């Protein structure tokens, strides 16, 4: 819970500072892995993985390109 709260606060600050720019827009963080599922192999070696989805800024789109 602390990790996602920290990420949410960081993303909120970044969104405010990057508003009206051409940078991608950060979405809500998604916790991934055992630390967020409530189990770990070793309690002292917890690894937190967080994905932050991006959306294009207003007036722009993302286009996937085939690998050549």
Structural tokens at position 65: 């390109």
Domain ranges for the chain, please list them.
Answer: 2-55
Tens of pLDDT, residues 8-64: 899 999 999 999 899 999 998 888 877 666 666 666 667 778 889 999 998 999 998
- Region of residue 19 (left: phi > 0; alpha: psi -120 to 50; beta: else): beta
- Interatomic CA distance for residues 5 and 11, integer angstroms: 10
pLDDT score at 35? 67
Q: Give residue 5's pLDDT band: very low, low, confident or very high (50, 70, 90).
A: confident
pLDDT score at 16? 93
Is the pTM higher than 0.85? no
- Determine how many CB atoms are found less than 10 A away from the CB of residue 10: 14
Q: Give residue 4's pLDDT band: very low, low, confident or very high (50, 70, 90).
A: confident
Distances from the Cα of 10 to the Cαs of 19, 24, 32, 52, in angstroms?
Answer: 14, 15, 18, 11
State phi, psi for 28 to the nearest 5 degrees: -65, 135
């Amino acid at each position: 819970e602390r990790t996602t709260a920290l990420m949410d606060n960081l993303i909120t600050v970044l969104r405010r500072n990057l508003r009206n720019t051409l940078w991608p827009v950060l979405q809500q963080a998604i916790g991934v892995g055992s630390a967020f599922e409530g189990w770990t192999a070793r309690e002292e070696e917890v690894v937190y993985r967080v994905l932050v989805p991006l959306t294009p800024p207003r007036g722009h789109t993302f286009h996937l390109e085939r690998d050549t």
